[in-house]
A = this chain, B = another copy of it.
Amino acid sequence: MHTTAHSHPLSYTDWTLTETQFDPDQLHARETVFTIGNGYLGTRGSFEEGYPRALPATFIHGAYDDVPIVYTELANCPDWLPLVVIVNGDRFRLDQGECLSYERQLDLRRGILSRSVRWRSPSGKTLDLHFERFASLADEHVLGLRCQITPVDFSGLVEVQASINGYAENQGFNHWEGLDQGKTNRGVWLQVRTRSSRIELAMASGMKISGAETSLQVTSAPGYPTLTAAFWAAPDQTVTVENIVTVFTSREGVTPVEAAQAKLAELPTYTALRQAHEQAWSQAWQKSDIVIEGDSRAQLAVRYNLFQLLISAPRHDDRVSVPAKTLSGFGYRGHIFWDTEIFILPFFTFTRPALARNLLTYRYHTLSGARRKASHAGYRGAMYAWESANTGDEVTPRWSLPHDPYAEDVRIWCSDREIHISADVAYAAWYYWYMTGDDLWMRDYGAEIILDTAIFWGSRVEWNTKQERYEIRSVIGADEYHEYVNNNAFTNRMVQWHLEKAISLYDWLDSSFPDRFAELKQKLKLTSERRSRWQDIVTNLWIPYDPATGLIEQFEGFFELEDINLQDYEPRIRSMQAILGIESANKRQVLKQPDVLMLFYLMRQSQEFPYSLAALQQNWDYYAPRTDITYGSSLGPAIHAILAADLGKSSEAYKHFIQAAMVDLEDTRGHAADGSHGASAGGIWPAVILGCGGVKLYRKWPRGQSTAAFRVETLV
């Protein structure tokens, strides 16, 4: 499938990526790559005029709606892109007529997507079209779309139709029921509501045409309000169509229709809006940029990945978080995984702590869902969902149901067994605090997260009477190729670490904020007995580990599994699980992603057990060759890059860094169509700054102050 990925590569400058040829085979992957956004919404890079089988999508944080099997998904919102240009009866579209020149460009510095096309219509009229769009970073409810039309070799009637398409769909499913639509003196509006979650959304759209005599008309099919204008165009005379769209949902505590109309009425010109937007991007980059000299591809790739993070992180909302595929595609249905806390968060913690705080506070607001999950599973405290959405309740599908009525239904065990998520969230909360010194956040939000998940662990560990040790059985570790294991080293050590920190936090809160401590003691039923039990678990929780060699066993019995030499399977373009099958991969020493090494990465920052260079070397030599780093999980390469750099393996570090950085730009795994790889993008920042760049950051962060940009002079 992805064999075509390199057939029409993008070209790069330090700040722009450019597509110089349109290839229908890359349609969906490039829609992902050219996504724009502003932390409120993301819009895939689909064409304004449409294209057969295109997957246009606009996702708004928190706008989830019910769906079978996977419980809930981000609803694809009404599409604000449709802009149809009709020349002498021929509708501009790239699957008809002749495309004489083509260039699509994403300007990362300005956050602007543009496209220039010279097109000859089936009846032989040639025209230049220049499109441009942005999702304002200065005002997240504002979207701008411009089209400049210049006849090359004809004079004639040109018609332009700009619409809001209320029939947006999630793979066929339209989550929105139309409530109403209408016109204003500046344009049209549409009001819709999700079917089950009853989130109301309104968009209002205004159009302005300059360079020609015309008047606007409203022609509204139900659910498809459209502004139409027809004008006479002449060679070399450019007509400019500017479309401004406003969008609000009931999640913002407003009446969306009124808010969208009022906002549209008060807006300045398209040019002024774009200027404010560019100014906001300029400020954003001042805080978050990484300058790489002497490697344009790496430079652009790093900025591209940071851009994905910056357009995805909510700025004014702490009840949402960044989905695994950000807001750029349908993959994983907009669900939120550990990807956010463990992979995406460091960039924000270090460069935009206020945004990191938003993301973490989402976990505070979803504690009640985590408590429901724990309670339904028979445990105490808070057990975070493997996949989470609005409420924090578990939304991981339990079944993969085949379309073949005679095939077996496949049970998905992640929600039951991939329990390390609760320690991951606590880890992220702790490190945010550690790095920023944001004591008030820890007092008001973080402590409850860390302590109530610690209570969960207290009820989840099992005492092995024979061996006289605590154990954690029936889990899936970080490595998802092994679906049912006991005493996964990664999980057990993370839980141990979590309880260590919970004890410190317990004491810190007691001494620093006794009122809040008293409050939480009562709410969570915290007692000194509970604290003692945590200490007992910390001391006696078993981690499969050979102190003589420093080698950690991924889980109990891993070393007895059949060994594998991944080289024997090269060259390959599929994951080892796809090649071996689920059952067979379960029985081999093959990893989807770092597991013991993931633990080294997480303990690296504080140089805690088991991290040491010697132990890392020992475990790297064992696990790296057994990890399906190319086609396993996209979470792996950035971690391998950092650890390889620690071990002085610069060229290997660079190779893995590029694997991570290019996963979407070059669609190296063939999944870019589903949305950008958020965790991989998140791993780029630590890979460059903490790994290859060699920067070490300790707790010296100026509290409450924003950070400056990083400069990395030689990457390798």
Q: Which residues of A contact B (CB under 8 A)?
A: 50, 52-53, 66, 68-69, 71, 82, 84, 161, 163, 165, 167, 169, 172-175, 177, 179, 195, 219, 221-224, 226, 228, 372-373, 376, 393-395, 398-399, 401, 403, 405-406, 409, 415
Q: Which residues of B contact A52 (CB under 8 A)?
A: 179
Least CB distance, A597 to chain B, in whole angstroms:
32
Tell me if A71 and B172 are in contact (CB < 8 A).
no
Least CB distance, A216 to chain B, in whole angstroms:
14
How far apart sit A36 and B302, CA to CA, in the bound complex (Å)?
61
Q: Which residues of B contact A68 (CB under 8 A)?
A: 68-69, 401, 403
Q: Which residues of B contact A226 (CB under 8 A)?
A: 221
Q: Which residues of B contact A169 (CB under 8 A)?
A: 174
Other-chain contact of A69, B165, B175, B401 (Cβ < 8 Å)? B401
Other-chain contact of A167, B163, B174, B401 (Cβ < 8 Å)? B174
Tell me if B403 and A71 are in contact (CB < 8 A).
yes
Tell me if B399 and A405 are in contact (CB < 8 A).
no
Least CB distance, A417 to chain B, in whole angstroms:
15
Assuming A50-B222, A221-B221, A224-B224, what are 4 further A-B pairs, CB within 8 angstroms? A167-B223, A172-B174, A376-B406, A394-B405
Tell me if B403 and A401 are in contact (CB < 8 A).
no
How far apart sit A68 and B401, CA to CA, in the bound complex (Å)?
7
Q: Which residues of B contact A406 (CB under 8 A)?
A: 372-373, 376, 393-394
Other-chain contact of A405, B71, B167, B405 (Cβ < 8 Å)? B71
Q: Which 5 A-B pairs have CB atoms at the shortest separation, nearest pair first?
A: A376-B406, A221-B224, A221-B221, A219-B219, A167-B167
Tell me if A66 and B403 are in contact (CB < 8 A).
yes
Please, which residue of chain B has its CB at the minimum distance from the CB of A228? B219
Please, which residue of chain B has its CB at the minimum distance from the CB of A394? B405
Q: Decide if the interface of chain A is mainly helix, strand, loop or mixed.
A: loop
Q: Which residues of B contact A219 (CB under 8 A)?
A: 219, 221, 228
Tell me if A405 and B409 are in contact (CB < 8 A).
no
Please, which residue of chain B has its CB at the minimum distance from the CB of A82? B222
Tell me if A393 and B405 are in contact (CB < 8 A).
yes
Please, which residue of chain B has its CB at the minimum distance from the CB of A387? B405
Q: Which residues of B contact A173 (CB under 8 A)?
A: 172-174
Please, which residue of chain B has its CB at the minimum distance from the CB of A194? B172
How far apart sit A398 and B398, CA to CA, in the bound complex (Å)?
14
How far apart sit A246 and B376, CA to CA, in the bound complex (Å)?
55
- 23 pairs of residues in contact across A and B, judged by CB atoms under 8 Å: A50-B222, A53-B177, A68-B69, A68-B401, A82-B222, A84-B222, A165-B221, A167-B167, A167-B174, A172-B174, A173-B173, A174-B174, A219-B219, A221-B221, A221-B224, A222-B224, A376-B406, A393-B405, A393-B406, A394-B406, A395-B405, A398-B409, A399-B401
Q: Which residues of B contact A82 (CB under 8 A)?
A: 222
Tell me if A409 and B403 are in contact (CB < 8 A).
no
Least CB distance, A293 to chain B, in whole angstroms:
47
Least CB distance, A223 to chain B, in whole angstroms:
7
Q: Which residues of B contact A395 (CB under 8 A)?
A: 405
Please, which residue of chain B has its CB at the minimum distance from the CB of A375? B406
How far apart sit A394 and B175, CA to CA, in the bound complex (Å)?
29
How far apart sit A415 and B219, CA to CA, in the bound complex (Å)?
50
Please, which residue of chain B has its CB at the minimum distance from the CB of A50? B222
Q: Which residues of B contact A71 (CB under 8 A)?
A: 403, 405
Given A172-B173, A173-B172, A195-B172, also A69-B66 (CB < 8 A): no
Q: Which residues of B contact A195 (CB under 8 A)?
A: 172
How far apart sit A219 and B159, CA to CA, in the bound complex (Å)?
12
How far apart sit A399 and B402, CA to CA, in the bound complex (Å)?
12
How far apart sit A403 and B167, CA to CA, in the bound complex (Å)?
24
Q: Which residues of B contact A373 (CB under 8 A)?
A: 406
How far apart sit A169 and B178, CA to CA, in the bound complex (Å)?
13
How far apart sit A177 and B169, CA to CA, in the bound complex (Å)?
11
Least CB distance, A190 to chain B, in whole angstroms:
12
How far apart sit A405 and B71, CA to CA, in the bound complex (Å)?
7
How far apart sit A163 and B226, CA to CA, in the bound complex (Å)?
15
How far apart sit A486 and B389, CA to CA, in the bound complex (Å)?
45
Q: Which residues of B contact A53 (CB under 8 A)?
A: 177
Other-chain contact of A399, B179, B393, B409 (Cβ < 8 Å)? B409
Least CB distance, A257 to chain B, in whole angstroms:
15
Q: Which residues of B contact A66 (CB under 8 A)?
A: 403
Least CB distance, A336 to chain B, in whole angstroms:
15
How far apart sit A558 and B502, CA to CA, in the bound complex (Å)?
59
Least CB distance, A72 to chain B, in whole angstroms:
9
Q: Which residues of B contact A405 (CB under 8 A)?
A: 71, 393-395, 415
Least CB distance, A27 to chain B, in whole angstroms:
14
Least CB distance, A516 to chain B, in whole angstroms:
31
How far apart sit A226 and B228, CA to CA, in the bound complex (Å)?
15
Tell me if A163 and B403 are in contact (CB < 8 A).
no
Q: Which residues of B contact A175 (CB under 8 A)?
A: 172
Please, which residue of chain B has its CB at the minimum distance from the CB of A183? B89
How far apart sit A195 and B395, CA to CA, in the bound complex (Å)?
26
Least CB distance, A178 to chain B, in whole angstroms:
9
How far apart sit A403 and B393, CA to CA, in the bound complex (Å)?
12
Q: Which residues of B contact A172 (CB under 8 A)?
A: 173-175, 195
Least CB distance, A424 to chain B, in whole angstroms:
20
Least CB distance, A205 to chain B, in whole angstroms:
14
Tell me if B69 and A163 are in contact (CB < 8 A).
no
Please, which residue of chain B has its CB at the minimum distance from the CB of A223? B167
Please, which residue of chain B has its CB at the minimum distance from the CB of A369? B405
Q: Which residues of B contact A394 (CB under 8 A)?
A: 405-406
Least CB distance, A623 to chain B, in whole angstroms:
34
